[in-house]
Chain A
Amino acid sequence: EDKVVQSPLSLVVHEGDTVTLNCSYEVTNFRSLLWYKQEKKAPTFLFMLTSSGIEKKSGRLSSILDKKELFSILNITATQTGDSAVYLCAVDGSGAGSYQLTFGKGTKLSVIP
Chain B
Amino acid sequence: DAGVTQSPTHLIKTRGQQVTLRCSPKSGHDTVSWYQQALGQGPQFIFQYYEEEERQRGNFPDRFSGHQFPNYSSELNVNALLLGDSALYLCASSRTDAGAKLFFGSGTQLSVL
Interface residues of A (CB under 8 A from B): 4, 31-32, 34, 36, 40-45, 48, 88, 90, 92, 94, 97-106
Contacts and interface: CB of A to CB of B under 8 A. Distances in A.
Interface string B91-113: 00010000111111111010000
B42 A90 contact: yes
Interface in B40-58: 40-45, 48, 50, 55-56, 58
B88 interface: yes
B42 A32 contact: no
Interface residues of B, number: 28
B106 A34 contact: no
A99 B102 CA distance: 9
A41 B45 contact: no
B45 A100 contact: yes
